Chain A
Amino acid sequence: AQSVTQLGSHVSVSEGALVLLRCNYSSSVPPYLFWYVQYPNQGLQLLLKYTTGATLVKGINGFEAEFKKSETSFHLTKPSAHMSDAAEYFCAVSTNTGNQFYFGTGTSLTVIP
C-alpha cells in the first residue's frame, strides 16, 4: 500500500526566505512522486515530478524537490519565497504509469510581506 505524510499543515515564511515543505511517503515498490499546487477555488497544478533518473528534480516557478530513498522523503524547496507562492501544496505518490495517486493532506503556505 502507498501513503503520504505531509508534516506541517500550515507553514509561514517571510517574503524572500527559504521555503521548505516536507513530504514522506510509504510504498512497497519504487514510487513515482509528485508535488501539486492548488490556489483558492482552483484545481491542482503540477509543480514537479520524480519517476526515475536524477533524484533532484526542478519544477515550475523556481521549485525543486529531492528524492531520498533512504529517508523515504520528497521535500519541496524554493530558495526565495514570493507572495504569489501562497497556496495549498499537495504531495502525491503513485507506483506506475496509469495507477491511482495517493495524496497527502496538504500544507498551506503563507508568505508574509
Chain B
Amino acid sequence: DAGVTQSPTHLIKTRGQQVTLRCSPKSGHDTVSWYQQALGQGPQFIFQYYEEEERQRGNFPDRFSGHQFPNYSSELNVNALLLGDSALYLCASSFGLADPRGDTQYFGPGTRLTVL
C-alpha cells in the first residue's frame, strides 16, 4: 500500500515564475492538506481540499491556489514566486471528515522548492 507521494522531489525557480506541485494521497484517503515548512520551522497550514473543494485555508495569500481531482490527487500552485517562498512543501492526506479515522494526517516526503 503506497503512502502519500509527491512530485517533484526538488524544484528550482526564479522570482516571478509560477510552480505546480503534485500530491497523490494514501490509498482510501479523500482529503488532502498542504503545508509549507520553512527552514528551521514547523509546518504551516496552507489549505485543505475535500470533495474537490477548498474546505479550509490558512493565512497565505491568493498567490497560493490548489486543486483536487476526482481521484483525490491534488496540486498546489504558487504564482509570482518570491524568495520567501523557498521551503519544503508537504502534502498530507486523511480519511473523510465524517470518518472517525479522519483525525490523523499522513505526510508525504515533500517537495523542496528553491526560489532564486
Interface residues of A, Cβ cutoff 8 Å to B: 4, 32, 34, 36, 41-46, 49, 51, 90, 92, 94, 96-106
Contacts and interface: CB of A to CB of B under 8 A. Distances in A.
Interface residues of B, number: 34
27 contacts: A34-B104, A42-B109, A43-B109, A44-B43, A44-B90, A51-B103, A90-B42, A97-B97, A97-B98, A97-B100, A97-B102, A98-B31, A98-B48, A98-B50, A98-B96, A98-B102, A98-B103, A100-B33, A100-B45, A100-B48, A100-B58, A101-B33, A101-B105, A103-B35, A103-B42, A105-B41, A106-B40
Nearest to B9: A41
The residue among B50, B55, B99, B103 with the most chain A CB atoms within 10 A of its own CB is: B103
Nearest to A44: B107
Interface of B: 4, 6, 31, 33, 35, 40-45, 48, 50, 55-56, 58, 90, 92, 94, 96-100, 102-110, 112
A59 to B, nearest CB: 12
A104 B100 CA distance: 24
